[in-house]
């Protein structure tokens, strides 16, 4: 029996070793030549040298826009799901299936949809706003699910008291749901940030890859992930710069995801208090 156990423990190792190799490679080789200047100067020689300041600006704008669009959408969807649709079991499961289907679609399909719908039909073209709208569609199912899961475990008395006091939907949301679910909203928001930062395939067709400062929301701009993709694949001799950018990116995304996993652990518990 012990041999079996040891064998099973051994099988789990190779992938973990690869993980540590990846992290250590990127940290060891990416931090060379990193200085404050890197964050405040523009890229030169197509990104081979110079900094990433315009890219940080575009990334921040896209992330904030995504949050601004996806938060009200997801909150309202979760609210309607909990308060109205949950009375009808059939409709509720239909709605949940639709959300699960949406969450299973690959990012490249969202990219195609975004370029056709937001870019062409709505006329935004290659712009920060059409990128942010596409990303909002991508995070919508996850954000809604996090909120809905937290709303539905609230004690029934809260909803009954709300009914008894004849609170309107708006009053109920503002005075009861939002204060009780701050952790869940934070978790959803951080999840959206993490998704928006990591996304590449959906953004190359929607927000484009221009590496100067964006002048308006209708201007094209590249995010950090597209910068790395472009340096690694399209620009000869861009490997070192790509490693440098991915070092910054890795630290950023590990921090955000660490915060997310801590906050997520708290949401379901906090909701009950």
Q: Looking at residues 24 to 53 of the shown chain, list those that interact with other proteins (rule: CB under 8 A).
A: 25-26
Q: Which of 35, 87, 157, 170 binds other proteins (CB under 8 A)?
A: 170
Region near other proteins per CB under 8 A, out of 41-49, 50-58, 66-74, 152-160: 66-74
Distance CA 165, CA 172 (A): 10
Per residue, what are the HEC states of 205-253? CCCCCCCCCCCCCCCCCCCHHHHHHHHHHCCCCCHHHHHHHHHHHHHHH
Question: Is residue 269 near other proteins by the rule CB under 8 A?
Answer: no
Contact present, 137 and 203 (Cβ < 8 Å)? no
Question: Is residue 134 near other proteins by the rule CB under 8 A?
Answer: no
Nearer to other proteins, 71 or 128 (CB): 71
Region near other proteins per CB under 8 A, out of 33-41, 50-58, 77-85, 152-160: 77-85
Q: Which of 3, 11, 164, 269 binds other proteins (CB under 8 A)?
A: 11
- Could you report how far apart the first and last alpha carbons of the chain are, in Å? 45
Closest CA to 260 of 172, 176, 142: 142
The conformation of residue 262, written as its DSSP 8-state character, comes to: H
Distance CA 118, CA 121 (A): 6
Nearer to other proteins, 113 or 124 (CB): 113
Q: How far is CA 17 from CA 12, 21, 22, 131, 247, in A?
A: 9, 6, 9, 36, 19
Burial 159-178 (b: 16+ CB within 10 A, else e): beebeeeebeeeebbeebbe
Which residues lie closer than 8 Å to 46 by C-beta, 6 or more apart?
211, 235, 238
Q: Shortest Cβ distance from residue 155 to other proteins (Å)?
A: 21
Nearer to other proteins, 191 or 271 (CB): 191
Region near other proteins per CB under 8 A, out of 39-47, 58-66, 71-79, 179-187: 71-79
Restricting to residues 93-132, name those near other proteins by CB under 8 A.
Answer: 95, 97-113, 115-117
Q: Shortest Cβ distance from residue 249 to other proteins (Å)?
A: 6
Question: Is residue 89 near other proteins by the rule CB under 8 A?
Answer: no
Restricting to residues 197-256, name those near other proteins by CB under 8 A.
Answer: 197-201, 204-205, 225, 228-229, 232-233, 239, 242-243, 246, 249-250, 253-254, 256
Question: Is residue 159 near other proteins by the rule CB under 8 A?
Answer: no
Nearer to other proteins, 57 or 201 (CB): 201
Total chain residues near other proteins (CB under 8 A): 84
Q: Which of 46, 56, 57, 80 binds other proteins (CB under 8 A)?
A: 80
Query: With 0-12 CB in 10 A as exposed, 13-18 as middle and 19+ as buried, what is 111?
Result: buried
């Amino acid at each position: 029996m012990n041999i079996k156990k040891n064998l099973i423990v051994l099988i789990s190792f190779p992938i973990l070793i690869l993980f540590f190799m990846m992290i250590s490679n990127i940290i060891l080789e990416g931090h060379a030549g990193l200085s404050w200047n890197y964050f405040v100067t523009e890229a030169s020689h197509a990104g081979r040298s110079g900094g990433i300041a315009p890219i940080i600006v575009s990334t921040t704008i896209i992330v904030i826009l995504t949050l601004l669009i996806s938060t009200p959408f997801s909150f309202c969807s979760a609210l309607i799901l909990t308060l109205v649709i949950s009375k009808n079991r059939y409709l509720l499961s239909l709605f949940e299936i639709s959300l699960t289907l949406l969450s299973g679609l690959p990012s490249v399909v969202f990219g195609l949809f975004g370029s056709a719908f937001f870019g062409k039909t709505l006329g935004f073209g290659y712009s920060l706003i059409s990128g942010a709208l596409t990303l909002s569609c991508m995070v919508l199912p996850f954000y809604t699910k996090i909120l809905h899961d937290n709303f539905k475990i609230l004690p029934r008395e809260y909803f009954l008291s709300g009914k008894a006091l004849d609170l309107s939907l708006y009053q109920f949301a503002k005075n009861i749901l939002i204060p009780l679910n701050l952790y869940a909203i934070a978790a959803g928001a951080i999840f959206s940030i993490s998704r928006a930062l990591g996304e590449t395939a959906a953004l190359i067709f929607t927000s484009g890859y221009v590496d100067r400062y964006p002048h308006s929301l209708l201007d094209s701009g590249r995010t950090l992930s597209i910068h790395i993709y472009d340096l690694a694949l399209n620009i000869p001799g861009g490997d070192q710069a790509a490693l440098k950018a991915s070092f910054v990116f890795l630290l950023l995304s590990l921090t955000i995801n660490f915060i997310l996993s801590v906050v997520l652990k708290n949401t379901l518990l906090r909701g009950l208090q």
